């Protein structure tokens, strides 16, 4: 009964130096996975995650890579294989949010959001798929958003919404293409209190809580628990699904 759910597996978690990615990486490591902490801007934060994992008896390393650039993704995957010989789980978590109205954002804002949030998931998935197919087993988990499901109150930031709606389509398309050996699913979090949204207008927050059945924010740890389920053997017959973890926000 004490067996860890991800014993012997290798997991790559993008954008894992903070927030939801950090929570997922630490939980996966706690459950026995050798975990690769991907980061782009903060080596200090990434190393801190590695230290926390190692101090608790887990195994982890960190790799700097811009997921929107193929050469960086290739380097990250090659580094992982050199270190751990296989890849069993990919969590496409890296993402950004531009908090401006569409009439105020720029072409660069659009390109950057789509490149990191959507193209990044595409490139990382393409890079690990041949490895997982050769192994005849693998799990890809995309971190989408409730915003990508067309709930009116969630659709404030156009570039972000489009990137997450695209990720939902990518999830289903890859699930069809990569079965039967690889499962591909997405998690659609609701309002999760992380560094990404720490500057949100208090009035906006009040309205969001009003329309959330559980009347509170979610936590990174709660999203990590959902990711653990999808990464585990318990979810072997689940693919192409969008798992909403939103406290009852935007039900329809």
Whether 37 maps to a domain, the answer reads yes
The distance in angstroms from the start CA to the end CA of the chain is 38
ω before 25 within 30° of 0 (cis)? no
- Position 210 pLDDT exceeds 90: no
Q: CA-CA distance, 44 to 17, in Å (whole number)?
A: 9
The pLDDT value given to residue 149 = 86
Total domains present in the chain: 1
Catalytic residue among 39, 84, 122, 160: 160
- % of the chain surpassing 90 pLDDT: 80
Whether 2 maps to a domain, the answer reads no
| pLDDT interval class at 138 (50, 70, 90) | very high
Give catalytic status of residue 217 as yes or no. no
Contact between 228 and 31 under an 8 Å Cβ cutoff? The reply is yes
Give the CATH number for residue 24.
3.40.50.720
pLDDT in tens, 188-207: 998 887 765 666 677 777 88
Whether 220 maps to a domain, the answer reads yes
Whether 149 maps to a domain, the answer reads yes
Whether 5 maps to a domain, the answer reads no
Q: CA-CA distance, 47 to 66, in Å (whole number)?
A: 17
Residue 116 DSSP class: I
**Boundaries of domain holding 149:** 10-245
The CA-atom distances, in angstroms, between 161 and each of 59, 125, 237 are: 35, 20, 28
A 10 A CB-CB count for 210 gives: 10
pLDDT in tens, 140-184: 999 999 888 866 666 778 999 999 999 999 999 999 999 999 999
- Position 237 pLDDT exceeds 90: yes
- Position 240 pLDDT exceeds 60: yes
């Amino acid at each position: 009964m004490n067996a860890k759910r991800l014993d012997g597996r290798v997991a790559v978690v993008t954008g894992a130096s903070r927030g939801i990615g950090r929570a997922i990486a630490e939980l996966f490591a706690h459950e026995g996975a050798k975990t690769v902490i991907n980061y782009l801007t903060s080596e200090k934060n990434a190393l801190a995650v590695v230290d926390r994992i190692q101090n608790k008896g887990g195994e982890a390393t960190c790799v700097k890579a811009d997921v929107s650039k193929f050469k960086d993704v290739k380097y990250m995957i090659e580094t992982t294989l050199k270190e751990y010989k296989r890849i069993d789980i990919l969590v496409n978590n890296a993402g950004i949010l531009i908090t401006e109205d569409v009439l105020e954002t720029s072409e660069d804002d659009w390109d950057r959001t789509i490149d990191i949030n959507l193209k990044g998931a595409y490139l990382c998935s393409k890079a690990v798929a041949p490895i997982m197919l050769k192994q005849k087993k693998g799990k890809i988990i995309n971190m989408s958003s409730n915003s990508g499901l067309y709930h009116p109150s969630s659709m404030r930031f156009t570039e972000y919404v489009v990137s997450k709606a695209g990720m939902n389509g990518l999830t289903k398309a890859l699930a069809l293409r990569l079965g039967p050996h690889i499962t591909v699913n997405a998690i659609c979090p609701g309002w999760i209190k992380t560094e990404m949204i720490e500057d949100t207008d208090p009035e906006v927050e009040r309205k969001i809580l009003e329309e959330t059945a559980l009347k509170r924010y979610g936590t990174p740890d709660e999203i990590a628990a959902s990711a653990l389920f999808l990464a585990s053997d318990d979810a072997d017959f689940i693919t192409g699904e969008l798992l909403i973890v939103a406290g009852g926000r935007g039900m329809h």
